[in-house]
Amino acid sequence: MRHRVAGRKLSRTSEHRLAMRRNMVASLFEHGTISTTIQKAKEVKPFAEKLITLAGKGTLAARRRAISLLGNRNIVECNDGEPVKTGSVIGKLFSEIAPQYLDRPGGYTRIVRLSKTRLGDGGQLVLLQLVGPQENKKKAKPAAKKSKAASKKTKPSVKAEAEVKTDVKKETSTDK
């Protein structure tokens, strides 16, 4: 029985699962989006979000904890046929990714289902993406609509005040 046993086995040993999770999250932070199966994406998403939350603290202890959980893989680009180190995944996480989400309480990643299936086994393919900073602004707009709805509720009292003012004007004009 699997009572209170969390996570998926994914037909791998525990060491292989851990290595796969680290590699997928490092690739997600490096590229911004990765293509994988739905089961792997659902398993990797909470780990990635916990690392982004940890990186939001920005302390040395948080950086060391992130290195212990993820490793400190280098980001390498190929220029003129020669590999050139452009930074590390942890450096990018702490300097570029985490500052985008400081005012966001969670939900840093999303899973987008693709219409494709894998050729070998027919597995459902998805895109695991980091949510961009422009989505933060989109979520702020519905809050503005709610405040407009709240102001609509106060409009009848404004109308009542306008009616009182017109009544006062009528009384002053009849007094003359």
pLDDT of residue 23: 97
What is the edge-to-edge ordering of all strands in the sheet holding 33-37? 33-37, 124-130, 109-117
pLDDT of residue 133: 72
In this structure, the number of other CB atoms found within 10 A of the CB of residue 126 comes to: 21
Above 90 in pLDDT, residue 9? yes
Contact status, residue 76 vs residue 30, Cβ threshold 8 Å: no
The amino acid present at 21, given as its one-letter code, is: R
User: Cα separation of 174 and 176, whole Å?
Assistant: 5
CATH of 14-131, one of 3.90.550.10, 3.40.980.10, 3.40.50.2300, 3.90.1030.10: 3.90.1030.10
Q: Per residue in 58-105, pLDDT tens?
A: 999 999 999 999 999 999 999 999 999 999 999 999 999 999 999 999
pTM (2 d.p.): 0.74
3-state secondary structure of 14: helix
